[in-house]
């Protein structure tokens, strides 16, 4: 898809304009980037079908943005962007991905130290040149080095939220061929891990050579790494590898099991097979030369004395023991979730109106949503003051009455200040249906202080949910350090819900935290934190994460009906 490429350029343009202190343009390009990135239709397709006019018809795309998109489709580049790049030719994408580094710092680093890449920056920081720059200092330099180390952690991995649509497209493409009986993405994609190292496709077909032809000729293929008779491997244009393997149907279950993994889960299974004098591999389960199972995953697990388990559980973190003892959780289902409990409208930093968000959510099948715009002190996100909040509540009530088939909760996302107090008075909070509280600033506090800060917010009876409780951003920052056991204890005692934020690079809480919350009996809520209506589909990622954390229907409050939820929010604390 061309969308990701254009979105990337728009994000960089936004950053260049921040660098140069240009007003409005940063927000406009950032918004456009977000919109395009989460669109399902390919811009090139839209343009091919309807020209520039069709681009303009996309919600949220105006003349200026449409022109840029057209320019990129026609010329493969955008002049305005090329000019910005020429003035400051740095690897903006990777530099700004390092925690604590913003566009303005990048400009200074380039002008004073000729830093163009992350490697340049690492070298300069190690030589202590960075701390000598005005407004940098030793502490900033130290943080930069720590940020670089962190970003090395998952190099080359991609966010599930970006890869899932692509993997599904590849699956479908193969599936649609009449000589392919089945095609499935296995590996970390099937387990829905938060980041993906490569795409592993399995297919059943009696014409493997034709599958290889089609697979290697896909439009995203940049390089063919290996093309065999039943197995091929390619590098896609986004820098991700994809493999395909064709198998006979009698081995498909065994292969699906094997290539879904994870590796540790497989190792335990293989050992269990050996203990039964069997041999397990990707072709089946064998006694001597005789295949005793392999057509389906169920029969492989069954002969090993296990119940089939959901791929999201297969991380060798207790699922094998649970399966043996018939104690597997009944994971919350994708259809169990009835609403979305965090999103932003154009009352703060969202791209769409409350009405547009509600209509899009209804289309997705939601029974209710909470609009949770930012408050007061978060000025960069267009936070509302108390006077504005009252108008905003009135507007939500009005739209709630007008819209049929979906209910809208009056929500807020308030800021937890450094001292644990909130930036909005209890009086105003009492008028909301749902209050999310979160930390958006001053992350660098001691573990005790940050834990106390959040617990203090939980003590407030108006606070229903702590949003993105650890503040991590995947591949960007680790979040603040917090005593999670204490947080759970406090959430349980005060009846506060913890959020599973479904934004693709947040997924906060993560799977390990969710499992602990479930064990502690703390309730969870799923919110997409959408900033445009095209992001509402990310609810799936939140459900995925809940499932990876062994959450059941009863553990997440989004599975309640509207009336039950409203009652719960009134009485939980
Ligand atoms: P990724 O690609 O890093 O996101 O993670 P996976 O889990 O997709 O890993 P990948 O692509 O290296 O391998 C796919 C599956 O193949 C993996 O989940 C389990 C299986 N597998 C790979 N290597 C081994 C191995 O050495 N032993 C066993 N038993 N299974 C393996
Ligand atoms: Ca993989
Ligand atoms: Ca692989
Ligand atoms: Zn937030």
Q: What is the CATH number of the domain that holds 212?
A: 3.30.460.10
Same domain? 348 vs 478: yes
Do the bridges between strand 290-293 and strand 284-287 make them parallel or antiparallel, or are there none, so unpaired?
A: antiparallel
CATH number at residue 102: 1.10.150.110
> Which residue out of 163, 200, 320 has the highest number of ligand 1 atoms within 8 Å of its CB and is therefore the one to mutate?
200
How many beta carbons lie within 10 A of that of residue 419, not counting itself? 10
Closest ligand to residue 349's CA: 4
Cα gap 197→262, rounded to integer Å:
12
* End residue of a domain, out of 309, 328, 347: 328
Alpha carbon of 555 to ligand 2 centroid (Å): 30
Same domain? 409 vs 534: yes
How much is the pLDDT for 234?
97
How much is the pLDDT for 463?
98
Nearest to 572 by CA among 518, 497, 521: 497
How much is the pLDDT for 553?
98
Alpha carbon of 504 to ligand 4 centroid (Å): 13
How much is the pLDDT for 471?
94
CATH number at residue 312: 3.30.210.10
Alpha carbon of 311 to ligand 1 centroid (Å): 13
- Tell me, rounded to whole angstroms, the distance of Cα 457 from its chain centroid: 26
Same domain? 287 vs 405: no
Say whether 2 sits in a helix, a strand or coil: coil
Asked whether 137 and 131 are in contact (CB, 8 A), the reply is yes
In a domain, 401, yes or no: yes
In a domain, 462, yes or no: yes
Q: Is the CB of 263 under 6 A from ligand 1?
A: yes
Atom of ligand 1 nearest to the CA of 270: 29
Cα gap 566→568, rounded to integer Å:
5
Alpha carbon of 374 to ligand 4 centroid (Å): 8
> Which residue out of 225, 255, 262, 279 has the highest number of ligand 1 atoms within 8 Å of its CB and is therefore the one to mutate?
262
Phi, psi of 130 (to 5 degrees): -70, -40
Which tokens go with 316?
């060798």
Same domain? 561 vs 430: yes
* End residue of a domain, out of 119, 151, 183: 151
Domain with 292 in it: 250-328
Same domain? 175 vs 316: no
In a domain, 509, yes or no: yes
Q: Is the CB of 261 under 6 A from ligand 1?
A: yes
Phi, psi of 36 (to 5 degrees): -70, -40
In a domain, 314, yes or no: yes
Could you tell me which residues come within 8 angstroms of residue 82 by beta carbon, excluding any fewer than 6 positions away? none
Count the domains in the chain.
4
Helix (H) or strand (E) holding 137: helix 137-152
Same domain? 161 vs 133: no
In a domain, 275, yes or no: yes
Q: Is the CB of 4 under 6 A from ligand 1?
A: no
Q: Name the DSSP class of 399.
A: H
Nearest to 35 by CA among 536, 535, 542, 539: 535
pTM for the whole thing?
Answer: 0.84
Taking ligand 2, which is a single-atom ion, which protein residues have CB atoms under 5 Å away?
187-188, 198, 200
Which tokens go with 537?
């589909």
Same domain? 136 vs 168: no
Measured torsion, CA atoms of residues 223, 226, 228, 233, in degrees rounded to the nearest 10: -70
In a domain, 334, yes or no: no
Atom of ligand 1 nearest to the CA of 195: 4
Same domain? 351 vs 267: no
Q: Report which protein residue has its CA nearest ligand 1's atom 21.
A: 263
Asked whether 150 and 184 are in contact (CB, 8 A), the reply is no
Q: Report which protein residue has its CA nearest ligand 1's atom 27.
A: 263
Side-chain-side CA neighbours of residue 534 (13 Å): 16
Cα gap 131→135, rounded to integer Å:
8
Asked whether 291 and 250 are in contact (CB, 8 A), the reply is yes
Cα gap 524→547, rounded to integer Å:
12
In a domain, 487, yes or no: yes
Atom of ligand 1 nearest to the CA of 199: 2
> Which residue out of 193, 242, 261 has the highest number of ligand 1 atoms within 8 Å of its CB and is therefore the one to mutate?
261
Bridge partners of residue 185, in order along the sequence: 201
Same domain? 233 vs 254: no
Alpha carbon of 105 to ligand 4 centroid (Å): 24
Neighbour order of strands in the sheet with 198-205: 180-185, 198-205, 241-247, 231-236, 221-227
* End residue of a domain, out of 247, 262, 290: 247
In a domain, 381, yes or no: yes
Q: Is the CB of 187 under 6 A from ligand 1?
A: yes
Q: Is the CB of 155 under 6 A from ligand 1?
A: no
Same domain? 239 vs 259: no
Q: What is the pLDDT along the chain (573 residues), one digit of tens a residue?
A: 788 899 999 999 999 999 999 988 988 898 898 888 877 788 999 999 999 999 998 888 889 999 999 999 999 999 999 999 999 999 998 898 888 888 999 999 999 999 999 999 999 999 999 999 988 889 899 989 988 888 777 777 999 999 999 999 999 999 999 999 999 999 999 999 999 999 999 999 999 999 999 999 999 999 999 999 999 999 999 889 999 999 999 999 999 999 999 999 999 999 999 999 999 999 999 999 999 999 999 999 999 999 999 999 999 999 999 999 989 999 999 999 999 999 999 999 888 999 999 999 999 999 999 999 999 865 556 789 999 999 999 999 999 999 999 999 999 999 999 999 999 999 999 999 999 999 988 888 899 999 999 999 999 999 999 999 999 999 888 888 899 999 999 999 999 999 999 999 999 999 999 999 999 999 999 999 999 999 999 999 999 999 999 999 999 999 999 999 999 999 998
CATH number at residue 358: 3.20.20.140
Asked whether 539 and 352 are in contact (CB, 8 A), the reply is no
How much is the pLDDT for 560?
98
Nearest to 4 by CA among 237, 185, 160: 237
Cα gap 479→488, rounded to integer Å:
17
How much is the pLDDT for 378?
58
Same domain? 442 vs 516: yes
Closest ligand to residue 260's CA: 1
Residue 108 buriedness (CB in 10 A; 0-12 / 13-18 / 19+): middle
Nearest to 244 by CA among 174, 191, 330, 192: 174
Asked whether 197 and 236 are in contact (CB, 8 A), the reply is no
Q: Is the CB of 262 under 6 A from ligand 1?
A: yes
Same domain? 304 vs 345: no
> Which residue out of 266, 270, 548 has the highest number of ligand 1 atoms within 8 Å of its CB and is therefore the one to mutate?
266
- Tell me, rounded to whole angstroms, the distance of Cα 560 from its chain centroid: 24
């Amino acid at each position: 898809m061309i969308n990701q490429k254009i979105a990337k350029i728009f994000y960089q343009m936004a950053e260049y304009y921040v660098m140069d202190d240009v007003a409005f343009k940063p927000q406009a390009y950032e918004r456009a980037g977000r919109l395009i990135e989460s669109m399902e239709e390919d811009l090139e397709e839209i343009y091919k079908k309807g020209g520039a006019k069709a681009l303009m018809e996309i919600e949220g795309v105006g003349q200026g943005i449409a022109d840029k998109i057209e320019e990129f489709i026609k010329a493969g580049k955008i002049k305005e962007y090329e000019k910005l790049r020429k003035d400051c030719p740095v690897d903006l994408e990777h530099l700004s991905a390092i925690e604590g580094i913003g566009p303005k710092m990048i400009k200074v680093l380039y002008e004073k130290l000729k830093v163009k890449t992350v490697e340049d920056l690492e070298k300069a920081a190690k030589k202590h040149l960075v701390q000598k720059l005005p407004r940098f200092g030793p502490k900033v330099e130290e943080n930069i080095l720590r940020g670089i180390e962190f970003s090395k952690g998952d190099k080359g991995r991609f966010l599930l939220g970006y890869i899932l649509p692509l993997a599904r497209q590849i699956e479908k493409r193969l599936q649609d061929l009449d000589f392919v009986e089945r095609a499935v993405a296995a590996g970390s994609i099937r387990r829905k891990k938060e980041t993906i190292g490569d795409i592993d496709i399995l297919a059943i077909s009696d014409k493997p050579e034709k599958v290889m032809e089609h697979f290697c000729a896909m439009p995203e293929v940049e390089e063919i790494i290996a093309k065999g008779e039943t197995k091929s491997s390619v590098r896609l244009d986004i820098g991700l590898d994809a493999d395909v393997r064709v198998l006979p149907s009698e081995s498909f279950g065994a292969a699906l099991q094997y290539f879904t993994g994870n590796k540790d889960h497989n190792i335990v299974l293989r050992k269990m097979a050996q203990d039964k004098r069997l041999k397990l591999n990707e072709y089946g389960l064998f006694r001597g030369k005789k295949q005793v199972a392999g057509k389906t995953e169920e029969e492989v697990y069954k002969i090993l004395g296990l119940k089939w388990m959901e791929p999201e559980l297969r991380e060798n973190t207790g699922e094998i023991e649970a399966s043996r003892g018939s104690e597997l959780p009944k994971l919350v289902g994708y259809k169990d979730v009835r609403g979305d409990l965090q999103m932003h409208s154009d009352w703060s930093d969202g791209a769409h109106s409350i009405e547009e968000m509600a209509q899009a959510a209804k289309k997705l099948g939601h029974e209710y949503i909470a609009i949770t715009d930012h408050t007061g002190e978060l000025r960069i996100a267009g936070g509302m003051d108390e006077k504005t909040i009252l108008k905003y509540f009135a507007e939500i009530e009005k739209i709630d009455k007008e819209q049929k088939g979906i209910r809208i909760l009056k929500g807020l996302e308030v800021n937890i200040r450094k001292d644990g107090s909130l930036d909005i008075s209890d009086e105003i909070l009492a008028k909301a249906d749902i209050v999310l509280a979160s930390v958006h600033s001053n992350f660098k506090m001691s573990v005790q202080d940050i834990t106390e800060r959040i617990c203090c917010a939980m003590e407030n009876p108006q606070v229903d949910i702590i949003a993105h409780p650890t503040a991590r951003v995947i591949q960007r920052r680790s979040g603040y350090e917090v005593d999670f056991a204490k947080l759970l204890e406090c959430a349980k005692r005060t009846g506060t819900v913890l959020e599973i934020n479904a934004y693709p690079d947040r997924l906060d809480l993560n799977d390990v935290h969710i499992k602990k919350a479930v064990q502690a009996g703390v309730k969870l809520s799923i919110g997409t934190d959408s900033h445009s209506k095209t992001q509402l589909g990310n609810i799936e990622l939140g459900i995925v994460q809940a499932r990876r954390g062994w959450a059941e229907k009863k553990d997440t409050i989004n599975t309640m009906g509207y009336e039950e939820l409203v009652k719960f929010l009134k009485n939980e604390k």
